[in-house]
Chain A
């Protein structure tokens, strides 16, 4: 890979290539740490023998690759800045919006009951749409069809608050996405995208998150790229962000043209990446660096 980058005529890449070559050559495998994630007395599954068909022996939540200062922020809901969004989401849940004069609560009542396990199964097959839908798309579908309200923008505060609130109702539950039946072809498509090298740096998801997880890529400790904690509060973003925002960031870093947020590629990729973490506890909203 390094030689390929060095062939680039652009000077900047030569430097990147060198940094990577040096990092890859010198960095020891640091691996995930052994800390246990406990929130409110409940222990979360952050490590699991890999599900069938997985390229790994063991799968790990991204939480295990963070240092203790970052980890601590997720271990107390008060310290977790994502919880301001959970609280906003709770307020939005029962707020009447749209021409139908309804709120989420009008149909779904108590989210603690009705939304339990919802995040864990996303993206989920939608019979009417004839395709899998993400949590964001499910929420907007409900807003447009049932509330007769305007859809929220994907990365808006409202959407992040709602996905954080709904996600929090699945905390501690195992990720369980459907990959068979009508989902099969979408899963295959996601898998293909995962292994396809793209961008000027000619890299795939697998190049980092499968082949080199646990190592340092320059200053970053590479995780397996699990998505069980989204939306996640990242120090880098200083706010919550969606899975698709994270995908986009990765693609930009490898100098690729990102796919469309909410588009078929990212939905398929979200499904495939979620399936690589089957059984890990949902941590939404998690905290990362």
Chain B
């Protein structure tokens, strides 16, 4: 498949102490391991995003251990209380060992 491309939505600005909503999505087929190849009849091996993590200024904020029952193109929405400006780092781990990550900055005022 094409290389997975993460998408994240983080507000660019917030007030100190504000609880912001973050949305993330990565394109990935999330092969469940339950499907059979139509031609050969063999089970297609599982290949999923098994872990998602969000860090803020190096500290863990939110993470998910993911199993095959999460839909293709896994989508996670969650909240974060921000008190200082900084950088979010989002990482997705694939069963094949590859990791995908992206960063977003937020400016916190007041």
Q: Which residues of A contact B (CB under 8 A)?
A: 78-79, 81, 83-85, 87-88, 157, 235, 238-239
Q: Which residues of chain B come closer than 8 Å to A84, judged between CB atoms?
A: 5, 7, 25, 27, 73
* A156: nearest chain-B partner, CB-CB: B2
* B72: nearest chain-A partner, CB-CB: A238
Q: Which residues of chain A come closer than 8 Å to B9, judged between CB atoms?
A: 78
Q: Which residues of chain B come closer than 8 Å to A87, judged between CB atoms?
A: 5, 7
* B3: nearest chain-A partner, CB-CB: A88
By the criterion CB–CB under 8 Å, are A88 and B5 in contact? yes
- B29 contacts chain A at the CB level, 8 A cutoff: yes
Contact of A239 among B5, B25, B72, B75 (CB under 8 A): B72
Interchain nearest-CB distance for B102 vs A (Å): 12
Interchain CA distance A238-B7 in the complex, whole Å? 17
Q: If A83-B7, A238-B73, A239-B72 touch, does A88 touch B2 (CB 8 Å cutoff)?
A: yes
Interchain nearest-CB distance for B35 vs A (Å): 11
Known: A78-B23, A79-B23. 9 other contacts (CB 8 A): A78-B7, A78-B9, A79-B75, A84-B7, A84-B27, A84-B73, A157-B1, A238-B71, A239-B29
Q: If A79-B75, A81-B73, A84-B73 touch, does A238 touch B25 (CB 8 Å cutoff)?
A: no
Interchain CA distance A88-B2 in the complex, whole Å? 10
Q: Which residues of chain A come closer than 8 Å to B1, judged between CB atoms?
A: 157
Q: Which residues of chain A come closer than 8 Å to B7, judged between CB atoms?
A: 78, 83-84, 87
Q: Which residues of chain B come closer than 8 Å to A85, judged between CB atoms?
A: 27
By the criterion CB–CB under 8 Å, are B29 and A81 in contact? no
